[in-house]
Amino acid sequence: MKYTIVIQGPLHETSILNIENYLKFGNIIVSCYNEDNFQLLNNVKENFYKIVKQNMPNYENIVGIGIKDNFFRGLMSTYLGVKNSDTEYIIKTRSDESYTDLTEIINLFEKDNEKLVCGNLYAAPPHVYVYHIGDHIYIVKKKYLEKALETLINMYNGNTQIEEWAYWMCGRHNSPENILAKAFLLSKGVDINSTKYRKIFYENFEVIDVNKLGNTICRGNHPEIREWRNNFVNGFKVYDSKTVFENDYDNPVAGFPYVRFD
């Protein structure tokens, strides 16, 4: 197998019930926390997956993050899973979601495996945030993702100087999705300060409609807890890489600057 599916986050029956489907596409690593309810795994054969766990990360000494949400915890659980994988490619998913058929996202990735291919869940056009990818499910080379996560974790832990583009909820115009995207670009040596946004996006990212990934259960926490079963609707009408820019000018969002991205 050349793919590892990293299921990150607190143990959740939604992804556990989908493990047999994920096995059709790669190895499985469940990256969770010591505080989780491990009885949820009682009915899953242990040889089906590898489990890695850590204490639930806290925000006591974290810098550059102004809200105690799941962003940093998500970075940490994803990183632990990635570090313990032994394949060239990673398919990252959330523990509270499931996708029964990964064929389409893998096919798109294999057209150019230097790109990060993400689902369109919360993907947005650049007038919202530049490089606002979807971060719920994506596929990427392990070496790029590992380096990107290390860059972010080291900054938030105070081991290295935090940079302006990495601040989250500290009065800067950033989001978890575009912070991760920029860390990925940096891992490839791409200049994130370049104004050639369209060119850089098309060269490094692809977006796929999550409704193409079999029977799906998707969840969101902002601005409220929501769930979609086979019927996710992107509010910005972003369903592939083309519509990231195609709909940018037709769907202005109150409070966000209007900028033309060529």
Residue 18: is its pLDDT beyond 80? yes
Q: How many residues does the chain have?
A: 262
- Enumerate domains of the chain plus CATH numbers: 3-246 (3.90.550)
pLDDT digits 0-9 by tens, 38-95: 999 988 877 778 999 999 998 888 999 987 788 999 999 999 999 999 999 999 999 9
Name which of 103-112, 123-132, 184-193 the model is least confident about.
123-132
> Is the four-CA dihedral 123, 138, 9, 78 of positive or negative sign?
negative
Helices 71-83 and 142-156 cross at an angle (nearest 10°) of 140
Q: Is the pLDDT of residue 260 over 50?
A: no
- Indicate whether 223 pLDDT > 80: no
The pTM for the full model equals 0.93
Q: Which residues face 206 on adjacent strands?
A: 117
Note the pLDDT tens digit of each residue in 130-187: 999 999 999 999 999 999 999 999 999 999 999 999 999 877 779 999 999 999 999 9
